[in-house]
Amino acid sequence: LGSLFGPAWVVGIAAATAGKEIESLKIDAAGRPIGHTTWPQGLAPGLHVLRWLAAMQGQERLRPLGVPRDVHVVAVAAGQGGASALVANGSAVPQQVEWAGDARLAVLDAGAVRAAAAHPDWVERTLAERRGPLSLPPYAVAFVAFNSLPGGAS
């Protein structure tokens, strides 16, 4: 789970910036950077989170409603009335997340770490159509592309 804690933590930190006027954010851990771009085994899982956060920069931030306490969400409006979101389980127990509407998503969990390390475009290769609800394993991160703005966000 250590390889997943970092990406989930980064989403949690980014989610905590909602409503703040922050232009840049440097994320470090004691003794080593937590940005997670490479490992000896290949790309670090956190790289995918950092790529999505970079793509969200400057977009209108959405406020998700009805999210469990240990689930962290960074959501932005996307073209054509859609939305993009990073949804992270910040706990050691599975969390249930629900939404209305259709979405394409990829889930970075323990079973996906190896594949994510092999491809810088792992998220784009993995996005698949899905309807809610979603059970997020401990420290998993979902990359979600909504076709239309789901209910419960403003």
Residues whose CB is less than 8 angstroms from the CB of residue 98 and which lie 6 or more positions away in sequence, other chains included: 66, 132, 133, 134
Per-residue pLDDT of the chain (154 residues), as tens digits, is 457 888 898 899 899 888 777 666 666 554 444 444 555 667 778 889 989 998 998 888 888 888 899 999 999 998 777 889 999 999 999 999 987 778 899 999 999 988 998 888 999 999 999 877 889 999 999 999 987 765 545 4
145/143 Cα distance (integer angstroms): 7
Whole-number Å distance between alpha carbons of 64 and 124: 23
Output the DSSP codes for 8-41: HHHHHHHHTTTTS--S----EETTEESS--EETT
pTM value? Answer: 0.85
Question: Token pair 């979902």 is at which residue?
Answer: 142
For 1, half-sphere exposure in the C-beta direction (CA atoms, 13 angstrom radius) is 13
The amino acid occupying position 44 is A
pLDDT value of position 26: 61
Which run of H or of E encompasses 70? none
